[in-house]
Structures are given as structure tokens and as C-alpha cells.
Amino acid sequence: MPVYTVATELGRLDRTQMEKLACGITTIHGEETGAPEPLIHVIFTGYPQGVAWSSGRPGAPNIIQASIRAGRSEEVRVRMMERMTALMCDVARVSARDVIVALFDFLPHWAMEAGMILPPTEKEAEAAWDAEFYARYSRDEQTSDA
């Protein structure tokens, strides 16, 4: 359901760091929202040195941004952002000054995954959606590389 994009300067992260960030973001989102792990997506992108600017000067921000379903409480959103900032600092060995975390809401019915319109963030709607998802797809299909 959520799609996280992690953008850093090319060469900042190695494969092990990307794996730690992907697993950490997945864990944080899952713990804070109850979303099933197979439905939490993390994509890494790098930008060339010299194309990013901060405060009007060349910089190298480390950005975690996500599209998430609207309806999460302010407390949950703040906890997620704080935890993801700490994760990026730890894994990438950067200062919190150089980390940006942004969570962008979208109405659930504006998105589809696995051919199914996403549910509202109410527990009953999520449980029904999850049950339908698991009924349609075997465990092997839920994490396919296709």
C-alpha cells in the first residue's frame, strides 16, 4: 500500500545499507499502522553529486518520502517520521540536519494494489481488504519479483 522512495546522493548507500533501510522502513510502517509487510514498498533512487542544493548552497540531503493512505493520526505520523529519521542517521551515518522525511496522504480510493481499490484506514475495512488479498493471492505471489 505505501510506497516509500529513498533518495540519496549516488554512492551514499551500499547494498547492505539499502537492505537495512528497506527492512527498517517496512518494520516501522508495519508496527505503526498494522499494514502487512508484503504491501509495504521501498524504492531507492540516487542523484548525481552537485545537483542537490540546500539553503542556496550545494548539498546532499537524504530524503525519505512516501505516499500513504490518509487517515493516520498526527501521533502515528510524527512517530513514523522520528523513527525513520533516526534509522537514516544510524544506517547512513549522517546528521539529522541532512535528513528529510515527508509523508504525503492520498485518499485510499485513489489507489489500487493487486487489482483492488485500497481500503479506508479503519481496522474493519483493512481487515476485510487483507482477507480478500490473502484469499486471492498465495504467500508466494504476495512477494513476487514480477
Whether 47 maps to a domain, the answer reads yes
User: Which domain covers residue 16, as residue numbers?
Assistant: 3-109
Q: What is the pTM of this model?
A: 0.90
Average pLDDT, the chain: 93
Reply yes or no on whether the pLDDT at 144 is more than 80: no
Asked if pLDDT for residue 23 goes beyond 80, the answer is: yes
Return phi, psi of residue 141, to 5°: -75, -25
15-33 vs 74-92: helix axis angle to the nearest 10? Answer: 160
- What CATH number is attached to the domain comprising 37? 3.30.429.10
> Is there a domain that residue 80 lies in?
yes
Q: Is the pLDDT of residue 142 over 60?
A: no
Averaged over 3-18, what is the pLDDT? 98
Residue whose C-alpha cell reads 513514523 in the numeric block: 80
45, containing H or E segment: strand 41-47
Whether 99 contacts 62, CB under 8 Å: yes
The pLDDT of residue 1? 86
Average pLDDT over residues 130-145: 74
| Residue carrying C-alpha cell 485510499 | 108
Q: How far apart are CA 103 and CA 43, in angstroms?
A: 15
Split into its structural domains, the chain has a count of 1
**Quick one: DSSP state of residue 71?**
-
Does the residue 7 lie in any domain?
yes
Model confidence band, residue 146 (pLDDT cutoffs 50, 70, 90): very low
- Whole-angstrom distance, CA of residue 117 vs CA of residue 19: 29
Res 143: pLDDT: 53
Q: Is residue 69 part of a domain?
A: yes
pLDDT at 106 over 70: yes
